[in-house]
Structure 1
Amino acid sequence: MKCIIGLGNPGPKYENTRHNIGFMVIDELLERHHWKLDKEKFKAQYTVERIGSEKVLLMKPLTYMNLSGEAIRPLMEYYDIDVEDVVIIYDDLDLPVGKIRLRTKGGHGGHNGIRSTIDHLGTKGFPRLRFGVGRPSVPMPIADYVLGSFQKDEMTTIEASVQTAANACEAWMEKPFLEVMNDYNQ
């Protein structure tokens, strides 16, 4: 079984914010396949389905971003999912808006959701899909920026990149992650 986890904050207040880009990619996959997150356990909403021949768990932590690892680890243990069979999707300030970058491992880069995940999994060695949200063009606290909505002129790029990120997740069901990385990192 493979596991696709989108990071974000629960609740309508945070919908469509930069920090919730991981949730947006999960929502796109759910919509494409006419699925719903129909299970709730270990502080997460999730579903277990099939994409092609691969069984896949799609998940949104119900913890707030900074506590993401508290939901991820117990669910992985419950379903006996290895770290190499997980991809975590999250926002990245260091990539331009809409740019996606897949990596097999890495540090947290200041991202508290990834920091929590590393702490709870005890490893930096899990696949991830970093989704660029850029940096603020005017001085402002980073928390205000990532908890803010995308600008109107960014939405076409964001929508196209959410599609691309979902395509990469689907490709991973049929190909090794390194191959998907080579196909989607340009």
Structure 2
Amino acid sequence: MTRTWLVVGLGNPGPTYAGTRHNVGAMVVTELCARAGVSLTSARGQRADVARTRISAAGLAVPSAQADPVILMRSRTYMNESGIAVRKVADFSHVPVGSVIVIHDEIDLDLGRIRVKAGGGDNGHNGLRSIRSHLHSGEFTRVRVGVGRPPGHQDLADYVLKGFPSRDRDEIAVQVGLAADAVECLMTDGLAVAQNRFNH
């Protein structure tokens, strides 16, 4: 029996925010689209850009009789209203909260670290707070991508809305690839395997 997955990459829309720490989740969805050979397009009435593919034990977009449908999604809303779009896409495609994977930046993890977890609070993250509010549940899976804390007394909002310094760009590219690997592993092998493989 197949299940439909909804993979959400959190971020703010528009070129101003592309490449910022707060948009690392959106970067991971872009990477997954590239792997699947699909492009995000506007989903009418859903306030989101989505792409559809399938995943099986052989990987993304590999033909298989046992492939699960996958919706890759970036919200067209700003971060603090992400839940509006997530709810619309989930309702339209009848995706239960347990099949939603949210990829987001995490200041409590150092750059280069990834954590996979199911459920929990929002830890002050406005995107997660909005999704929990609109889905009426926090029981979705999260792929937390470390961006580190701001140095000194730098304002947190300024920090996450700035791009990665050039010295970190190679490392963040590797980290985005690992986070995409973690998402694929979650869908093919399950939470426990993904946590064992990526939570280091």
TM beyond 0.5: yes
Instruction: Name the TM tier (shorter chain).
Output: over 0.9
Whole-angstrom distance in 1 between the partners of 2:35 and 2:28: 11
| Contact 1:104-1:127 at 8 Å conserved across structures | yes
Structure 1 counterpart of 2:51, from 43, 47, 51: 47
Q: Deviations over 1:101-125 (max 9, x none)?
A: 0101110000001011111111111
Whole-angstrom distance in 2 between the partners of 1:31 and 1:2: 17
Describe the SS at the equivalent of 1:13: coil
What amino acid is the match of 1:40?
Answer: A
What is the TM-score with the length of structure 1 in the denominator?
0.96
Match of 2:10 in 1: 7
2:88 aligned with 1:84? no
Structure 1 counterpart of 2:85, from 71, 89, 100: 71
Match of 2:176 in 1: 162
Q: Deviations over 1:127-177 (max 9, x none)?
A: 001111101113221111000001112112211111111111112231122
Match of 1:185 in 2: 199
Moved over 2 A (4+): none
What amino acid is the match of 1:116?
Answer: S
Bigger mean CA deviation after superposition, 58-67 or 169-178: 169-178
Unaligned runs of 5+ in 1: none
Whole-angstrom distance in 1 between the partners of 2:15 and 2:78: 13
Describe the SS at the equivalent of 2:148: coil
| Contact 1:91-1:130 at 8 Å conserved across structures | yes
Number of positions where the alignment pairs a residue of Structure 1 with one of Structure 2: 186
| Contact 2:11-2:24 at 8 Å conserved across structures | yes
2:20 aligned with 1:17? yes
The share of aligned pairs that are identical, in percent, is: 40
The alpha-carbon deviation at position 178 of structure 1 amounts to 2.5
Describe the SS at the equivalent of 1:178: helix
The alpha-carbon deviation at position 180 of structure 1 amounts to 1.4
2:41 aligned with 1:27? no
| Contact 1:76-1:82 at 8 Å conserved across structures | yes
Unaligned runs of 5+ in 2: 57-66
| Contact 2:36-2:53 at 8 Å conserved across structures | no
Whole-angstrom distance in 2 between the partners of 1:66 and 1:177: 27
After superposition, the CA RMSD in angstroms is: 1.1
